[in-house]
Structure 1
Amino acid sequence: MTHFGILCPAAIGHLNPMCALGRELQRRGHRVTLFHIPDVQTKVQKAGLEFHTIGEAEFPLGSFEAIYQKLGEMSGLSALRFTIAWLEKETLLLFREVPDALSKVGIEALLVDQVTPGGGTIADFAKIPFVTVCNALLINIEDGVPPYFTHWGNDQGWWYRLRNRAGNFLLDRLSLKISDLVVNQRRRWNLPPYVKAEDAAGKLAHICQLPAEFDFPREQLPQCFHYTGPLQDPSGLEPISSSISFPFEKLSHRPLIFAALGTLQNRKEEIFQTIAEACIGLDVQLVISLGQPERKESVPNLPGSPLVVAYAPQQQLISRSILTITHAGMNAVLGALSSGVPLVAIPITNEQPGIAARIAYTGTGEFVPLSGLTVSKLRDNINRVLTEDSYKKNALRLQQAIRSAGGVTHAADIIEKVVFTKKPVLAQTN
């Protein structure tokens, strides 16, 4: 038995897949402890994992709600900057408190989210193996692949590669403070410097919850990189879920469209207004989840009388749907494709534009950039996806790819092999 530790952001989109992976490892007899601030404790313990509190003095219980609310009102580059600034604070916290916590709890191996940049350095300092897990869109940089925060297509040619390089340079500048933190911490701990940025992910195994068929073609992934497909609980339940009950009795016999903007970028109610207006006249039932389980005020009355709830069991609603309207969050998109449901995306910030670009690339749906969102544009895309057979066929094709990828079971197999052999697990030999 191995005692695993988990380091990941506090967002549901990262906690859900990490908890699903942790539960799979628990089923195999291992212990799993997730380290984070007090606001995360109840969610993680409800998911059945052990929890160790860090950052209690700096982030007392209830402090994260203000961060959620501020981020939920932002979009585009400003939201990306805000997210990076939070990751900087989180990196400082992890360096300060996690090494002692790992020793105290007795952690023997780490699972590190790819967007937790200090995790690999902490594992190196603790002299324990670690596996990198890409819960969001993978951030591996190649000139032939657009930066993850853009909705650029997979165009080829020298001009497009130059464009991609410029976008990645911008991202490097925005993330420079975090990079410097890692460099300086490795120096303080007498660890060898990284030769290149990709070294931070380690050399044992990188697990990505995309199926390979949903990504742009890549040429420079490390040999230990594995596309495992979604890290979802085999039961179909969401590990981090709300106690709010959903009124299933209000669902009609009409075809269902499920719309949600995740649990972070969901405070722009004008987007929900646009979605509701765009669906007027369609012979469907529109269900809108505001993604705000702690919401105290009443839900808004939107045009067309959709069923609007503060929070919904996302996967259960998606599996009943003929279409999902989404912000292009990774878990929502993979949830839809796992059920063979096509999508219309309204990407808001961070990696969402890059995920939306892959929806278009795979023909599993369409997207409307937030800057160009209008009722007519959204309605046209909804009608196109609902009436053209190719979108449903491509969604079913991706559903089959996801089933073949292995998911959380395959990911856990890789992790166990890393811990047993202490050697890299290569994609072509596992």
Structure 2
Amino acid sequence: MRAVLITPPLPSHLRAFEALALELTRRGHEAVFVTEPGVALQGGMAQAALPGPPARPQPRRLPAEILAGARRTGRLCRDAPPVLRGLAPDLILGDQMEPASGLLARALGVPLVSVACAVPMDPEPGIPLPFLGWPHDPSARGLRRNAGGERVADLLMLPQSRVIRRWARTWNLGDLRRLQDCLSPDLTLSQTVPGFDYPRPANGARIAQLGPFRRGQERQEFPSDIRPDPGRPLVYVSLGTLQGHRAGLLSRIAAACRQAGAQVLVSHAGCLSEDRARAIPADWVRAFVPQQAVLERADLCVTHAGLNTALECLAAGVPMLAVPLTHDQPGVAARIARCGAGLRLQPWQRGSSRIRDAAARLLSDPRFRASARGFAAQADRWPGAAGAVDRIEALVSSRTRATG
């Protein structure tokens, strides 16, 4: 089987897709990424780059990010068809956040499997869009509120919607407008785990909850130059690979957690200068740390509520204080609070006293750690990338039998 993989060039998405590609090749299949020029992959993955100059760096502000995403979708739809015809794939693995994968699969008649690197976008009555931190509410009131949120999303995503509609009309695919219109009707591979996402009784059967595709197999060592006092709690603070530049918020979190009696380790993912990093009032500030090893020692993680970090915390049995910033992080934070593994702070709740009180509560109330450890007890059975490829192979096999 030859699979083509299409994903936005975001670090966490690329790493998840690389894990899928590695498992596919391990089983004797071919896996080829179709990307814009200049996208660097790890592990020597096969790659077919589109013609033309490299894309601009990913912007940080949401409006510019949406415009960049619309340009990327348009470029894929314009330039990828001859590349795909040359590759003759048996399957397209498409990131849910890149609608070009669904448009191209439909236009070329290639089976599509959607990949949810973040919270699944698959529509479900009562579940708000991932960027909304609202609860699951299938009542009439909840459905009305979700519909209002979707109208706002439609306005924000108008540049992307225009590109989707233009290419759907060009290829006679019907009236497709939204990201959700471009998903696979057959299978979504999700990194969420049972008990974490909201219930999906209507459309959840096509979603395979598999856990992180990329899980560290090698034992990580805790940094030798960081020596926490075993008699005091250790709080690990990370805002992910794209938000580590928020020095003011990192400083406020560090100071508040120290006021709560904790030792604090901050990782800024290389987003700060040495001078700005030194100004953060934490016990230790690092550009990067071996996160898995740190979580094994931590008593609490203060996180931006990126799904990868949230799942790593659950796998380690570490409670979380979620401070969501953008994208699907509000939805992830709502699920952290719902499953009992942590608390979340809304944007208007991020003063020092609120952060201090929330951290103190999480460190003193054993119920949060007990909930996180309940997930950790199941982590070894999360199928991850191997389970994803099992589902892919089963889908391709069933289609082959149906057409043969």
Establish whether TM, by shorter chain, passes 0.5. yes
RMSD: 2.7
> Which letter maps to 1:249?
D
In the TM superposition, 1:201-216 aligns within 5 A as 201-216=183-198
Deviation, structure 1 residue 155? 4.5
**Does the CA contact (< 8 Å) of 2:37 and 2:54 recur in 1?**
no
Query: Is residue 337 of structure 1 aligned with residue 314 of structure 2?
Result: yes
Aligned match of 2:34 = 35
In the TM superposition, 1:131-210 aligns within 5 A as 131-155=113-137, 157-193=139-175, 198-210=180-192
Aligned match of 1:374 = 351
Aligned match of 1:49 = 45
**Does the CA contact (< 8 Å) of 2:260 and 2:356 recur in 1?**
no
Aligned match of 2:79 = 97
1:287 pairs, out of 259, 262, 265, with 265
**Does the CA contact (< 8 Å) of 2:244 and 2:267 recur in 1?**
no
> Which letter maps to 1:211?
V
Distance 1:173 1:237, change over 3 A: farther
Aligned match of 1:353 = 330
**Does the CA contact (< 8 Å) of 1:36 and 1:55 recur in 2?**
no
**1:23-44 Cα distance to aligned partner (Å, 9 max, x none):** 1112112222222234422xx1
Partner secondary structure for residue 366 of structure 1? strand
> Which letter maps to 1:206?
T
Aligned match of 2:286 = 309
**Structure-2-length-normalised TM-score:** 0.90
**Does the CA contact (< 8 Å) of 2:263 and 2:282 recur in 1?**
no
Partner secondary structure for residue 118 of structure 1? helix
Question: In the aligned structure 2, how far is the partner of 1:352 from the partner of 1:412?
Answer: 27
Deviation, structure 1 residue 226? 1.5
Query: Is residue 400 of structure 1 aligned with residue 377 of structure 2?
Result: yes
2:209 pairs, out of 223, 227, 233, with 227
Show structure 2 runs of 5+ residues with no match.
none
**1:213-270 Cα distance to aligned partner (Å, 9 max, x none):** 11112232153222122212361689xxxxxx99433233534322111112232211
Aligned match of 2:234 = 256
Deviation, structure 1 residue 354? 0.9
The runs of 4+ residues in structure 1 deviating greater than 6 Å are none
Deviation, structure 1 residue 396? 1.4
Deviation, structure 1 residue 158? 2.9
**Structure-1-length-normalised TM-score:** 0.85
> Which letter maps to 1:250?
I
Deviation, structure 1 residue 184? 2.4
Distance 1:296 1:37, change over 3 A: farther
**Does the CA contact (< 8 Å) of 1:141 and 1:168 recur in 2?**
no
Count of residues in correspondence between the two structures: 400
Query: Is residue 273 of structure 1 aligned with residue 251 of structure 2?
Result: yes
In the TM superposition, 1:240-251 aligns within 5 A as 247-251=223-227
**Does the CA contact (< 8 Å) of 1:4 and 1:107 recur in 2?**
yes
> Which letter maps to 2:73?
T
**Does the CA contact (< 8 Å) of 2:197 and 2:335 recur in 1?**
yes
Percent identical pairs in the alignment equals: 28
Partner secondary structure for residue 186 of structure 1? helix
Aligned match of 2:109 = 127
2:341 pairs, out of 346, 360, 364, with 364
Question: In the aligned structure 2, how far is the partner of 1:248 from the partner of 1:104?
Answer: 50
**1:288-329 Cα distance to aligned partner (Å, 9 max, x none):** 111227x66555224544211122232332233221111001
**Does the CA contact (< 8 Å) of 1:143 and 1:165 recur in 2?**
no
Show structure 1 runs of 5+ residues with no match.
239-244, 426-430
Moved more, 378-387 or 307-316: 307-316
Distance 1:333 1:196, change over 3 A: closer
